[in-house]
Amino acid sequence: MVLTIAAAIFVFGLLVLVHELGHFITAKLTGMRVDEFAIGFGPKLLSFTRGETVYSLRAIPLGGFNDIAGMDPANNEAGSRGYCEKPVLSRMIVILAGSIMNFILPLVIFFGIFFFVGVSTPNPEPVFGTVIAGKAADQAGLQDGDRIISLDGKAIANWTEFVDNVKDNEGTPIKVVAQRGDETIETTMTPVYDAQAKKAMVGVMSSVDTHHPGLVEAAGLAVQKTYMIVAMMLDALLQIVLKLSGSELAGPIGVAQMAGEVAQMGFVPLLNFAAFLSLNLGIVNLFPIPALDGGHFVTLCVEAVRGKPMSPKALEYTQKVGIVLLILLMVLATKNDIVRVFTGG
């Protein structure tokens, strides 16, 4: 539980910090007055003032905000430094900067992992690279580095054969013979069905072969991986829309649970998870839904075409619609989280 909470705070905190920094930096660069830069919501835990801006850390680490003067034209006390008084292009830059930073963060994370840790490819040998604590293999006494010799008396020559002999044996004890150095280990493990993977699993990852790329190659691989993940996410979102199904949506509870599970594998997998989630946040925030950055950008595009802002009543109406949509999505995601928790998915 402690690891899950710590991992969730780290992931949420990192993503929110980077996103809000995008808005903050571009607001400052375009001459806007920022009254407060906050990470989290609710009561203040820590705060200090530098110049005209209050920097605060708040109790609920599920978001953050920039209090930019003049966001409401009717209450602009900053004069020409108010958001509403700046050119449309400046406001567009500020609105998009948060999501842009969420795309930049994975590039930095992936580059760091590739350059400092290396590029890992699965080893085809039936050797455990990671045994996840508390899962079936760990409960059976198996450890990182163990080589599987046989399952239920059947010789295992490679990792694919190991997976094939586990995936369809949910709840069925399997006799395992493994090699650990000069010692032969005999034990029994029982695969457990994983709803997300849609197969029985025992909580292990294969060993890997590691290649250490140079500076340029690592940068290229980071761009390539980021592009592949974005393409995969867009395809998944398209399928959700086409099937009108939100069963795959996860809310804060689900994300926290996943963060805890990934954290058990180590800090590098947790960084990979944070990068993946950052791209997800960047894409979702660009949706043309009022109350999201994408919705604000659409209203700015309308203003650019019309040559004047939308009326306050129209803006209020669209914001209310956007908030209702977000609440409905959050309710659906939370429902999915609760179902997963109670069904073990």
What is the structure's pLDDT at 109?
A: 97
What is the structure's pLDDT at 261?
A: 84
Between CA 331 and CA 123 the distance in angstroms is 42
What is the structure's pLDDT at 248?
A: 60
What is the structure's pLDDT at 319?
A: 75
* Helices and strands in the chain: count of H runs, count of E runs: 9, 12
Which residues are annotated as catalytic?
Answer: 20
pLDDT tens track for 289-330: 887 899 899 999 999 998 888 877 777 777 777 778 777 777
Residues of the chain with pLDDT under 50: none
| Burial 23-62, CB ≥16 within 10 A → b, else e | bbebbbebebbbebbbbbeeeeeeeeeeeebbebebeebb
Please choose, from the candidates 105, 98, 128, 116, the residue with its C-alpha nearest in 3D space to the C-alpha of residue 11: 105
pLDDT tens track for 8-30: 889 989 999 999 999 999 999 99
Please choose, from the candidates 276, 247, 249, 279, the residue with its C-alpha nearest in 3D space to the C-alpha of residue 262: 276
Tokens representing 298? 């659409």
- Structural domains in the chain, sorted by start: 1-31+86-118+214-279 (no CATH), 122-210 (2.30.42.10)
pTM of the model: 0.78
